[in-house]
Structure 1
Amino acid sequence: MGKHQEDHFHYKSWLVIVGLTVIALRTNAQTRLSLDQALALARENNQWNKIAYQEQLVSIADYNDSRNAILPQITMGAFYQRFSKVTLFSDGLWDSRSITRIPGPNSAGTSVEASMNLYTGGRQKTQIQEQKQRSDLAALNLLEQESSISLQVCVQYFELVNSIEQQKLVGEQLARAETRLNNIRVLYKNTRVTRNDVLRSEVVLANVQLLAEKVMNDRRIIANRLKLLLNKKDEEDIVPTDSARIALPITMPPSADQYGSAGSSFLVRKAMIAEEISQTRLTLVRSNYRPTLALFGAYNLSYPNNLFFPPVDQAYSVGFVGLRVQYQLSSLYHNKYKESAATVRIQIAKQAEQNVADNVTDQITALYIKYQESLTRIAVAKRTIEQTEDNYRIVSTRYYNQLALLIDLLDADNLFQESKYSLVRAQVDALNYYHQLRFAQGTL
């Protein structure tokens, strides 16, 4: 190979190494976050969390408004009128004359009216109860939204950790490929290996360089996703301080009190509230069968006095109180199908709740199995790294002593690298499954 090609490979390797070094140096000046800090920022700053919080405030306002409905309805008003002269007609419309309205052209008044429901067949109480349930549902939606964002933060956080670990591993692989290529070139000059070994080593180095560039780009993409979740729009990159080697809980059986329980799941709790709302709607429909009782009253100050005939040119005031009883006879036939529909909706809500609980239980069981599998993979990967490292060292020694082929050395290097990748991936997967389990249980 010519000197130009050698310089080209050295230049590309130098660029990749410099790129990795620059990222490492920039890391020291960037935002360093632990997982707990990232979760706290997401709960406080994430836009979707803010929207869910505003929706909860709306539901609280609706609930308070339904409670205010039991307070008396009070109306106050006033009026003034001035009448024109009264035109009187005789003999059809041919003979007419005008007179002043008795006792005068002016008329005015003011009044205060009030009414209060004493009994509505339980309708108002039921409406308040329904708004309370909807407020509870909005609060649960907020918790679910925050938990969902927290899960996304956990996933992106540890994917970023995985990307950083991959950068380190690729940097080590790049260094090995550089050293191996230099050694093989020396062997080639001494005619101890063929040119095919040199070319194959150059191809391997080029592939590692491309992989290093891909990993750098992946890290930038993942960091931007995490920044979006945290609503951080500055140019600083996020550097996780927690690693993929965080201590995980010891394996435990999926008992009813642990991973096997779906009762605290957000989906199950929402389905339960939906069933309660259906029950409340049935109670509301049945309240239409009952009468209503209301207290009402008014006080008026008017001019002129129209209580007598002819009207008297004087102001007067009068007030009254009373009870009003009403019963909708039409409810006997209007409510028939409404009640039937409400009863069916309750059955549907119960079936939906059971289906949701079964699905959540299945999801929790599946996640628990995958979590256990990841823990096993971690243990296996740790043992595999030791074995593949020893294998790579042995095959490397055999190759440079002309006792093994280059393909054997490259396979050994790939196995060694893959075992380290597998350990990091298994650790990240275990962390992701653990947090998915917590989300499925409604405890994240």
Structure 2
Amino acid sequence: MKLVTILLSILVMALARPLVSMADSDSLRTLTMKEAISMALENNHHLKASSHNARSSSYSTDIATSRYYPNLFFEESFGISNSPTQTFMMKLDQGRFSQNDFQIHNLNHPGSWRNFKTALTLTQSLYDPSISPSRAMARQEALKAEAGYEGAQQDLAFQVFVLYLDSVRAAAQLKAIEQALADATENVRLARVREREGVGLKSDLLRAETHRAMVEQHLITARNSITLIRLRMALAVGAGEGSLVEVAEPGRSMTPTCAIEELFRVALQERRDLRQSQADKDRGDAALRLARNAYLPTLDAFGSYQFNSREYPFGSDNDAWMTGVSLKWQIFDGFRRCSERKRVLAGRSAAEEELIAKTDEIKLQIRESCLRRDEAAKQRDVARQALASAEETVRLLGKRYENSLATMLDLLDAQTALNQSRSKLVDAEADYAFSGGRVFHASGMFLKEIMK
């Protein structure tokens, strides 16, 4: 039976080895918190996509602004016809019209005629009430995309911070499980000694060995969790699929002061999602101006200079120019503009409500993060006290078991409670650190604070 137990223990430990061999075989890159965040901001593909979207939106403003500038067109065309009106105009444009062309037969049945036309045309908008609001709408879209990119930077930095806390939590869990394994191994030794001396039960030894096997299973999972967190960190910082990255130094301590009103003021200035909601509202204002300006006329200037030739392109049998202005005013469109104005007005009202809702939501997030911060501090203190009590309980029951004053079941129950207390303290420490970062993230200052 002892031989079987020893072989089982060796097999379990052998299964645990491959989980960490991956970390040994691959290059493990160790970074500080600032280095990890800087690397993520430079290499993360999701952030790059957000940057390209912001850049794409910025060009919409330039496109809308271009409508203020003149348009210049060059044209070279060729035509041939025996239509009386077309032939008449071609000859006039080429300066080839003669007295013989006025004969009735020649007017009604002209021969075929060809024309090469070379023209340079200029158009300039003098008054177009749709340009300014269209440009304002494009500008707000660009601001929204830019705010989205900056918000993605904040979220990515916070993601790296959370992954760091996960790695700290996993490492502490691993250390606690390794300590639990050492304690379980000692319990097996004590049970075996007592059984050998005839003062212990075989069932106590089996319970102790079963308990140790359970701890070894948890050890396998803990080591695997560390490897997975390192893989996720590598993905976040853009180190490449399959790479392993860990943050060894946390950087600046996240210890905010929960002054609610000050955090409100900062959040209203720094939260990028709030800026996006404000941009939607401002875009609605511009869209409403555009809908109202649709009732106004447009005024354009135009001019052209052209050459006409019968024999070859770019020739100049005759030249001509023309210039003028054009006023267009749509009087009736089947109530389309009226419906459009109502639609835009409803959308603008929706954007205003969304802005109010987002502001209230951000204030709630700040209040919640501060409450969670206080809660995490208290939970951490309680977890520390619980761990001290659990350690003392195990120490006392260990002495009692050695003196046959307690059963193995009592000792294992106390050991299980100690393992849980260690795990809860690890979670409490990580939750406390997370709650501090959450306050800064809720107020929109996380990236600025963590990179100080």
- The TM-score normalised by the length of structure 2 is 0.84
2:180 is paired with a residue whose SS is helix
**Code of the aligned partner of 1:55:** N
- Say whether 1:47 aligns with 2:53: no
Task: State which drifts further: 277-286 or 377-386.
Answer: 377-386
Distance 2:111 2:418 in 1: 112
Distance 2:264 2:346 in 1: 33
- Say whether 1:118 aligns with 2:126: yes
Distance 2:303 2:19 in 1: 83
- Say whether 1:107 aligns with 2:115: yes
Structure 2 counterpart of 1:369, from 365, 368, 371: 371
Q: Which residue of 2 aligns with 1:434?
A: 436
Q: Which residue of 2 aligns with 1:266?
A: 272
Conserved 8 A contact 1:39-1:150: yes
- Say whether 1:242 aligns with 2:249: yes
Distance 1:74 1:173 in 2: 81
Distance 1:19 1:177 in 2: 23
Conserved 8 A contact 1:34-1:240: yes
Structure 1 unmatched runs, 5+: 87-96, 305-313
**Code of the aligned partner of 1:107:** N
1:173 is paired with a residue whose SS is helix
Q: Which residue of 1 aligns with 2:261?
A: 256
2:60 is paired with a residue whose SS is helix
Conserved 8 A contact 2:160-2:236: yes
How does 1:45-84 map onto structure 2 within 5 Å? 45-82=43-80
2:162 is paired with a residue whose SS is helix
2:189 is paired with a residue whose SS is helix
Structure 1 counterpart of 2:418, from 404, 416, 419: 416
Distance 1:212 1:14 in 2: 9
| 1:173–1:23 Cα change, 3 Å | farther
Q: Which residue of 2 aligns with 1:90?
A: none
- Residue 11 of structure 1 and its aligned partner are, at CA, apart by 1.7
- Residue 169 of structure 1 and its aligned partner are, at CA, apart by 1.2
Identity of counterpart residues, as a percentage?
19
**Code of the aligned partner of 1:160:** S
Q: Which residue of 2 aligns with 1:15?
A: 14
- Residue 116 of structure 1 and its aligned partner are, at CA, apart by 0.5
Q: Which residue of 1 aligns with 2:93?
A: none
| 1:101–1:53 Cα change, 3 Å | farther
Task: State which drifts further: 355-364 or 49-58.
Answer: 355-364
Conserved 8 A contact 1:378-1:423: yes
| 1:234–1:357 Cα change, 3 Å | closer
Conserved 8 A contact 1:254-1:365: no
Distance 2:69 2:82 in 1: 42
Task: State which drifts further: 321-330 or 410-419.
Answer: 410-419
Structure 2 counterpart of 1:384, from 383, 386, 398: 386
Task: State which drifts further: 138-147 or 354-363.
Answer: 354-363
| 1:285–1:299 Cα change, 3 Å | same
- Residue 14 of structure 1 and its aligned partner are, at CA, apart by 4.8
| 1:27–1:414 Cα change, 3 Å | farther
How does 1:43-442 map onto structure 2 within 5 Å? 43-82=41-80, 105-121=113-129, 123-233=130-240, 235-242=242-249, 247-249=253-255, 252-258=257-263, 262-263=267-268, 264-303=270-309, 315-330=317-332, 333-442=335-444
| 1:260–1:406 Cα change, 3 Å | farther
- Residue 5 of structure 1 and its aligned partner are, at CA, apart by 2.4
Conserved 8 A contact 2:147-2:273: no
Distance 2:228 2:307 in 1: 76
| 1:357–1:193 Cα change, 3 Å | same
2:217 is paired with a residue whose SS is helix
Distance 2:9 2:75 in 1: 92
1:69 is paired with a residue whose SS is helix
| 1:163–1:40 Cα change, 3 Å | same
Distance 2:265 2:406 in 1: 53
Calculate the aligned-residue CA RMSD, in Å: 3.0
Distance 1:169 1:75 in 2: 77
**Code of the aligned partner of 1:275:** K
Distance 2:388 2:46 in 1: 46
Conserved 8 A contact 2:171-2:226: yes
Distance 2:373 2:429 in 1: 10
Structure with bigger helix share is 2
1:256 is paired with a residue whose SS is helix
CA-to-aligned-CA distance 1:76-120 (integer Å, 9 cap, x gap)? 11234455699xxxxxxxxxx999997994433311111101111
- Residue 140 of structure 1 and its aligned partner are, at CA, apart by 1.0
**Code of the aligned partner of 1:74:** L
Distance 1:81 1:100 in 2: 19
- The TM-score normalised by the length of structure 1 is 0.85
- Residue 27 of structure 1 and its aligned partner are, at CA, apart by 9.6
Distance 2:242 2:120 in 1: 64
Distance 1:12 1:319 in 2: 96
Distance 1:17 1:329 in 2: 81
| 1:111–1:166 Cα change, 3 Å | same
| 1:100–1:119 Cα change, 3 Å | closer
Distance 2:391 2:252 in 1: 24
Higher relative contact order (CA 8 A, sep 6+): 2
Distance 2:222 2:20 in 1: 14
- Residue 416 of structure 1 and its aligned partner are, at CA, apart by 2.5
- Residue 406 of structure 1 and its aligned partner are, at CA, apart by 2.0
Distance 1:246 1:177 in 2: 38
1:188 is paired with a residue whose SS is helix
